[in-house]
Amino acid sequence: MRSILIVDDEPIAVEGLRSGVDWPSVGIGRVMAAYGVDQAKELFGRERVDILLCDIEMPRGTGLELLEWVRRHHPRTETIFLTCHADFHYARQAIQLGCLDYLLKPIPYEELKVVLAKAIRKLDEDEHRSEFSQFGKFWLQYQPMLIERFWLDILSQAIPARAEAVRQAARERNIPYSEELVFLPILLRMRRWYKEYTLRDKKTMEYALRKAAEETLMQRPDLGLLIPAGDDAMLFILNGGKEAPDPVELRRRCESYIASCREYFQCDVSCYIGERVRGHEMAAMLQRLLRLDADNVASDDRVAFLGELPVPACSYTLPDMGLWGIMLKEGARDKVIGEAESFILRQVKEGRLTPELLTLFIQDFQQMVHYVLQVQGIQAHRLLGDRQSADLYARAGRSAKDALNWIRHVVGKSLDFAASLEQAPSVVERAKAYIRERLAEVISREDIAGHVYLNPDYLTRVFKKETGLSISDYLLQQRLGIAAELLANTDLSVGAIAARIGYANFSHFSRIFKKYMGVNPLDYRQSRIQPGASGESRESDKGKS
């Protein structure tokens, strides 16, 4: 008979499960309960737990956090998640791929019985295999965290890439290891999420990706190990002996995993299959696989063996983008994007798209766009300096799809803004609004031009054409107009009014005001005072005249 631990912060939910299921009928002889992560860990320290039935969302520690701890310290325990949020159905399907399950509250007891029976069958099968497989004992008998750390040190060459050094490190860490063991590495690279996820959802998805890889690629826990290999990457170290699948089967499994990632997890993944190596040769093989991924700019969801990707050509023939620039200036958005897409996809089809060629193409395309913007008086670094544009540009060299996403963005944003310039009053009105909002600040012509993404000289010409004033004259006019209103209608001192419109020096403000208004601020105020009006602030101003 097996044992089960129910973990939920709601005592009513725990008691409902305890009393609602005929546990002996499904092969469970002992039912334990915990009401939080810490209490669950204490029970693991005292009791054997075969199955963990755990709420995924609790106020003091989540089910995922508990599962990560269980995997390190009690790797043979099978886990079933509970939740009351139906929008996590994708995670449910993902975890099912890893031989766990994900049930929605309230729990249908008959469905729970089916899942428990499946978990017990898996426990029985794992124990049976471990009894008869020496290689299985290598993977299952020892703590996964210790094994993972051993391989991470090999890959980082904290353990030197020599057979004797690896053998000695295994002996010191009490890890069974033989130089006769042969391994087949497969690099799994997550290339793109289709949408933005919260940090919590992303953690769930990453865990599901790992479980799906273990289920689809490894199929049996004694046949390999999956460890992290950098950002968005995992290295699957497969038993390279007689039980290893042949290349055709490996490709089929990888294609199945990629299809699952696309359908269930909304992401693109590529798989790179290496050659059989000994343990001390693994670090060098990982570097070759990472290079294979870096060279893959043609596809985001492919299976590739070493040597399958195109060899970089000695020379490149790039398109003449002069005509594209003319079309861009004329606003031919679809034609420019179509020409770029046609060139890139043709290189992909002919197997000629390499990182070097893609980088050169992006550089030329960017130069062409910046030239067109310059001719139109638009400041490229301001128009395209936002976070989204910067992120798309940073990814553009990673793949053909990323490059085309960036091209569509930069062409669309440039032409949309260029079209707005044809309505010059809209640009001038935005400049005026910017000035009015900052009358008390020190602002320059460059600041105003930057706000509307234009070259300062170009904005000055457009502004004067529409208003008859230079930008500096308009700024002065606005400031003096507000000063006149405040002098006539408030008791604020002249010094306070000067500060409000950006003049820290009282005398300088008075000179400017008299030059353009014909009288000094105090005389202007006196001329606007209504009969019988008075005020302390106005009396205090007289001492400054």
Q: What is the pLDDT of residue 543?
A: 45
345 assigned to some structural domain = yes
Q: What is the mean pLDDT of residues 472-489?
A: 86
Task: Please provide the DSSP assignment of 20-40 as one string.
Answer: HS-GGGGTEEEEEEESSHHHH
**CA 157 – CA 169 distance, rounded (Å):** 12
Q: Specify whether 36 is located in the same domain as 84.
A: yes
Task: Round to whole Å and give the CA distance between 154 and 116.
Answer: 38
Other Cβ atoms less than 10 A from the Cβ of 490: the count is: 14
Distance CA 204, CA 90 (A): 10
Claim to verify: residue 120 and residue 34 sit in the same structural domain: yes
Question: What residue type is 339 in one-letter code?
Answer: E
pLDDT(4) > 90: yes
Which of 421, 438, 461 is the endpoint of a domain? 421
Neighbours of 230 (CB within 10 A): 13
CB-CB contact of 353 with 362 (8 Å): no
Sheet with 183-193: strands ordered across: 224-228, 233-239, 183-193, 267-273, 303-305
pLDDT band at 454 (very low <50, low <70, confident <90, very high): confident
Of the candidates 274, 24, 243, 293, which has an alpha carbon nearest to the alpha carbon of residue 138? 243
212 shares a domain with 88: no
Q: pLDDT digits over 105-160, tens only?
A: 888 888 899 999 989 988 888 776 654 454 455 545 555 778 889 999 999 999 99
pLDDT one-digit tens code per residue, 342-375? 999 999 988 889 899 999 999 999 999 998 888 7
Tens of pLDDT, residue by residue over 47-68, are: 999 999 988 888 888 888 888 8
The secondary structure element, H or E, covering residue 449 is helix 445-451
**CA atoms in the 13 A half-sphere facing the CB of 421:** 24
d(CA 545, CA 507) in angstroms, rounded, equals: 10
For residue 129, the model assigns a pLDDT of 65
Q: Is the separation of the CB atoms in 406 and 362 below 8 Å?
A: yes
Task: Tell me the pLDDT band of 314, cut-offs 50, 70 and 90.
Answer: low
Amino acid at 249: E
Number of domains in the chain: 3
pLDDT band with cut points at 50, 70 and 90 for residue 87: low
Residue 538 in any domain: the answer is no
Say what the pLDDT of residue 254 is.
95
Q: Say if 460 falls within a structural domain.
A: no
Torsion of CA 91, 94, 100, 106, to 10 degrees: 30
- The predicted structure's pLDDT at residue 537: 44
Q: Are 16 and 153 contained in the same domain?
A: no
Mean pLDDT computed over 5-14: 91
| 537: its two tokens | 């602030």
Helix (H/G/I), strand (E/B), else coil: 408 = helix
Overall average pLDDT of the 268-274 stretch: 95
Q: Is residue 428 domain-resident? A: no
pLDDT for 520 beyond 80: yes
pLDDT at 82: 81
- What is the DSSP track for 313-368? PSS-----THHHHHHHHTT-HHHHHHHHHHHHHHHHHTT---HHHHHHHHHHHHHH
Q: What are phi and psi of 228, to 5 degrees?
A: -65, 145
Closest by Cα among 94, 98, 104, 107 to 79: 98
Query: Is the pLDDT confidence value at 533 over 70?
Result: no
Give the pLDDT confidence of 384-432 residue by residue, as tens digits. Answer: 888 899 999 999 999 999 999 999 999 998 888 777 765 555 778 778 8
The answer to whether residue 336 is domain-embedded is: yes
- Show which of 405, 421, 437 is a domain's final residue: 421
Residue 542 predicted with pLDDT over 60: no
HEC string of 212-259 equals HHHHHHHCCHHHEEEEECCCCEEEEEEECCCCCCCHHHHHHHHHHHHH
User: Residue range 74-99: average pLDDT?
Assistant: 67
If DSSP codes are grouped into helix, strand and coil, which group holds residue 514?
Answer: helix
147 and 161 part of one domain: yes
pLDDT confidence of 91, banded at 50, 70, 90?
low
513 in any annotated domain: no
Do residues 14 and 39 share a domain?
A: yes
Checking DSSP bridges between strand 78-83 and strand 51-55, what pairing results, if any? parallel
How far apart are the C-alpha atoms of 517 and 510, rounded to whole Å? 10
Strand 28-34's sheet: what is its strand order? 28-34, 2-7, 51-55, 78-83, 101-104
- Whether 92 is covered by a domain: the verdict is yes
Residue 336: φ, ψ to 5°: -65, -50
Peptide bond into 106 cis (omega under 30): yes
H or E element at residue 262: helix 247-264
% of the chain exceeding 90 in pLDDT: 36
- Kindly state the average pLDDT of the residues 225-241: 88
Do residues 112 and 149 both lie within one domain?
A: no
User: What is the pLDDT at residue 336?
Assistant: 93
Report CA dihedral (82, 200, 120, 39) to the nearest 10 degrees: -70
**pLDDT level of residue 443 (50, 70, 90 thresholds):** confident
Round to whole Å and give the CA distance between 492 and 504: 15
What CATH number does the domain containing 292 carry?
3.30.70.270
Predicted pLDDT at 189: 95
Per-residue pLDDT at 100 exceeds 80:
no
pLDDT of residue 425: 56
Is residue 64 located within the same domain as residue 103?
yes
Same domain, 179 and 139: yes
Asked if residue 527 has pLDDT above 90, the reply is no
Q: What is the CATH number of the domain that holds 67?
A: 3.40.50.2300
Does 52 fall in a domain? yes
> Could you tell me if 336 and 411 are in contact, meaning their C-beta atoms sit under 8 angstroms apart?
yes
277: left (phi over 0), alpha (psi -120 to 50) or beta: beta
* Same-domain pairing of 120 and 200: no
Segment 272-302, tens digit of pLDDT: 999 999 999 999 999 999 999 998 999 999 9
Domain identity same for 183 and 76: no
List CB contacts of 73: < 8 A, sequence separation 6 or more. Answer: 44, 143
Tallying the residues shown for the chain, one arrives at: 545
* Average pLDDT of the residues of the chain: 84
DSSP state of 104: E
State both tokens at 29: 């002889």
Residue 88 domain boundaries: 2-132
Shared-domain flag, residues 406 and 290: no
In 39-172 the beta strands, taken as DSSP E runs, fall at: 51-55, 78-83, 101-104
Q: What is the pLDDT of residue 137?
A: 52
Bridge-partner residues for 184, per DSSP?
A: 238
Q: State the average pLDDT over residues 72-92.
A: 75
H or E stretch at 389: helix 387-395
Q: Which of 173-187, 191-205, 451-465 has the lowest mean pLDDT?
A: 451-465
CA separation for the pair 106, 83 (Å, rounded): 9
Final residue in a domain of this structure, among 392, 421, 450: 421
